[in-house]
């Protein structure tokens, strides 16, 4: 997407920066809480452990099996919860608002709730009047598969029918993965016009093109003195002790109990 002539603010206001920091603090606090809430029940009765995967990896001990479960469970949870932080970051960066909030307030049709960020600022582009921009926020540019790209295109066409110009934003990275750069043009969307990656996001919306350096500082300020590795290790020791009390060192019996 080409740069706009008037990007307005040079940097974010202190109030906006503080909201970003608070979002990161909530993420860290909630992450520690989620780790503490993980139970043996989730591992055994709720399909937490894939016994076939455990066997395929050649695991012999309950300790290794619990570590695998915790790692997968926490990493999978990280993606969704941190995604909300990145959305808040882009909302503040662009003076936008959440698409879900737009729908709740009755400001737009339900289609808009799919979009992470909505910028309600009319402009003219290619001799067409637009009501604003709608943004789908992703993390790195390799975190989309072909189906997701096609789904973006379907949502983009809906947005255009309602007068909004679609945009795909990757908050870090340098180049788009092949499935993005190859698929979008076939659907009529030139990545140079509809995709922003890493520094391009700041170039588009801020006068300070180096603001990403400041952004990294903000995310560091959101740290709340927690150590994820210590939290995981503490939870692992507690779960292993509970499992061994029930199964001894019999991993086979544990795996059979997952059925």
Confidence at residue 194, expressed as pLDDT on a 0 to 100 scale: 95
The pLDDT of residue 8 is 59
CB atoms within 10 A of CB 14: 8
User: How, if at all, do strands 123-125 and 128-130 pair?
Assistant: antiparallel
**Predicted pLDDT of residue 78:** 80
pLDDT recorded at residue 7: 57
Return the pLDDT at 22.
93
Write down the domain spans for the chain: 14-256
pLDDT of 103: 72
Q: Could you report the per-residue pLDDT of 29-46, keeping only the tens digit for each?
A: 888 888 888 888 888 887
* Regions in the chain scoring below 50 on pLDDT: 2-6
């Amino acid at each position: 997407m080409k740069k706009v002539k008037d990007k307005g603010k040079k940097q974010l206001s202190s109030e906006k920066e503080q909201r970003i920091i608070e979002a990161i603090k909530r993420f860290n606090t909630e992450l520690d809480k989620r780790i503490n809430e993980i139970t043996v029940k989730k591992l055994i009765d709720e399909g937490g452990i894939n016994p076939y995967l455990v066997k395929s990896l050649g695991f012999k001990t309950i300790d290794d099996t619990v570590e695998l479960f915790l790692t997968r469970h926490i990493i999978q949870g990280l993606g969704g919860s941190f995604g909300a932080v990145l959305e808040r970051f882009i909302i503040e960066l662009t003076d936008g608002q959440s698409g879900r909030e737009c729908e709740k307030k009755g400001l737009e049709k339900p289609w808009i709730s799919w979009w992470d960020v909505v910028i309600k600022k009319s402009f003219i582009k290619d001799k067409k009047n637009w009501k604003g921009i709608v943004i789908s926020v992703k993390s790195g540019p390799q975190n989309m598969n072909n189906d997701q790209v096609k789904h973006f295109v379907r949502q983009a066409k809906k947005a255009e029918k309602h007068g909004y110009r679609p945009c795909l934003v990757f908050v870090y990275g340098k180049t788009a993965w092949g499935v993005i750069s190859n698929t979008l043009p076939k659907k009529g969307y030139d990545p140079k016009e509809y995709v922003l990656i890493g520094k391009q996001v700041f170039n588009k919306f801020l006068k300070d093109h180096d603001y990403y350096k400041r952004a990294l500082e903000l995310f560091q300020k959101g740290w709340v003195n927690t150590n994820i590795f210590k939290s995981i290790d503490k939870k692992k020791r507690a779960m292993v002790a509970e499992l061994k009390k029930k199964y001894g060192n019999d991993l086979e019996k544990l795996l059979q109990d997952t059925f």
